[in-house]
Amino acid sequence: MKSKIRIFFLSFLGRIIIQLIFYFNKIVIKGEKNLIALLQANEPIMVCVWHGRFLFPSWYLRLITNNIYAIAGKHSDAEIMAQILQYWGYGLIRGSTKKGGKEVIKEMVTHFKKSGIVAITNDGPKGPPCIAKPGSTSIALKNNVKIITVTGSATKCWKINSWDNFLLPKPFGKIQIIISPVMDISKDIINNEVEYVSNFINKYQKQADDLIKSYINENS
């Protein structure tokens, strides 16, 4: 009971803090037309992001659609974020690739068939950071799913001392969110999936970081 009360309190407090942080930042979004086009075409979408930058798409995507799902683990730390996402209107797919992997994939496919969006952290749940785990492109190929990455960066932020270097923006700065075009995939890349997907996500992560660095330099 104490654990449930603690998780409820922390998720409530976390949600308020996150919403205030984004409210007190200047938000700039690049590539939104890429996502809008997919939604208008009623395409199933897989949103890929690194674990340490998951906060940016989590906050943003709920403003665009309500047909969105996130994979959430069942341990206590994951439960805090899961409750925040649930309050924001996300559907939850509980489990991970290691625990209940087949059921997770089965549920993902169910949502894809209804043109849903599923957000995944490709290097989660425990890393190594910024290296994609295999499996996402094969799921996409089998179900005609479009893969994009939605990520971000911030001029003012805390970097949490964790395996994923989790980035938490500070108030009164600028937040840059990037939505990529659809990733080109084919059966030829399956054997080289880890490198291909990692490079794809890193390309747009670097773009977000570079835009923030340029903004800081221009205003310093």
Other Cβ atoms within 10 Å of 198 Cβ, number: 18
Taking 70 as the pLDDT cut, the residues of the chain under it are: 1-2, 76, 96-100
pLDDT of amino acid 109: 95
pLDDT of amino acid 185: 87
Question: What's the pTM value of the predicted model, to 2 decimals?
Answer: 0.93
Per-residue pLDDT tens over the stretch 122-173? 998 888 999 999 988 889 999 999 999 999 999 999 999 999 999 999 999 9
Other Cβ atoms within 10 Å of 205 Cβ, number: 21
pLDDT of amino acid 74: 72
Q: What is the DSSP string of 66-91?
A: S-EEEEE-SSHHHHHHHHHHHHTT-E
Helix (H, G, I), strand (E, B) or coil at 98: coil
Contact yes or no for 49/151 (Cβ under 8 A)? yes
What is the total count of domains within the chain? 1
Q: Who's near 25: CB < 8 A, 6+ residues apart?
A: 154, 169, 171, 172, 173, 174, 175
pLDDT of amino acid 149: 98
pLDDT of amino acid 97: 58
Helix (H, G, I), strand (E, B) or coil at 149: strand
Extended strands (E) in the chain: 26-30, 45-49, 68-72, 91-94, 117-121, 146-154, 157-159, 167-169, 174-179
Residue ranges making up the domain that contains 190 = 2-218
The Cα–Cα gap between 142 and 123 comes to 22
Helix 136-143 to helix 193-218 angle, to the nearest 10 degrees? Answer: 100
Quote helix, strand, coil % in the chain, to nearest 5: 50, 20, 30
pLDDT of amino acid 78: 81
Q: Supply the CATH number for residue 43's domain.
A: 3.40.1130
Helix or strand (DSSP H, E) at 138: helix 136-143
